[in-house]
Amino acid sequence: MQPLLLLFRKKIKKNLTDEIKEYNKKSFSLNNIFSVFLKPQVSLTFIILIITIYLIVPNRSNNYKELIKSQVGNSNMFVQAEQNFSKILNGKLKVQFASNNSDILKKFFFDKGVSYQTTIPVFNDLELLGVSYPK
């Protein structure tokens, strides 16, 4: 009886091993991976995704390069803001247009030719005195 059980056990083990090997071949083959892209829903979605990435990514990098080129040395808006703040603290930069109304101050900038939308923050602890505009 023992040899029959051993033989039966070896046969089951071989069959299971063969099935596992076959399953592994099927599940990890490149054909199975690429066959997903043969489905119309997946392939169309993939094509749209690639086109979208192609159109968006290069345009953003060009905009950043132009911004970086325009913001060098004293043209850098952060450098200008720091210099202006230092001038205000030292009394070298005076208020050119006095008002505590933010809408009137926004109109002042618009009249001076500022082409972008200006935002004037409101702080509870600080009083708005006016603005200065570089000449």
pLDDT per residue as tens digits for the range 97-130: 888 888 898 888 888 888 778 888 888 888 888 8
pLDDT of 61 strictly over 60: no
Question: Residue 130: beta bridge partners?
Answer: 98
CB–CB of 98/132 below 8 Å? no
Domain ranges of the chain: 2-70, 77-131
Residue, of 77 and 37, whose pLDDT is higher: 77
More confident residue, 2 or 96: 96
Which amino acid type is present at position 24? Answer: N
Q: How far is the C-alpha of 98 from the C-alpha of 108, rounded, in Å?
A: 10
Give yes or no for residue 55 having a pLDDT over 70.
yes
Distances (CA, A) of 39 to 28, 46, 84: 18, 11, 61
Radius of gyration of the chain (CA): 35
Give the whole-number percent of the chain exceeding pLDDT 70. 72
Buried residues in 67-88 as b, exposed as e (16+ CB within 10 A): eeeeeeeeeeeeeeeeeeeeee
Mean pLDDT within 72-80: 76
**pLDDT tens digits along 9-51:** 787 778 778 777 777 666 555 566 666 667 777 778 888 888 8
**Minimal CA–CA distance to 44: which of 36, 33, 55, 32?**
36
**53: its two tokens:** 């990435």
pTM of the model: 0.39
Confidence band for 58, pLDDT divided at 50, 70 and 90:
low
| Amino acid at residue number 25 | K
> Strand, coil or helix: what is 130?
strand
- Give per-residue pLDDT as tens, 84-102: 888 888 888 888 888 888 8
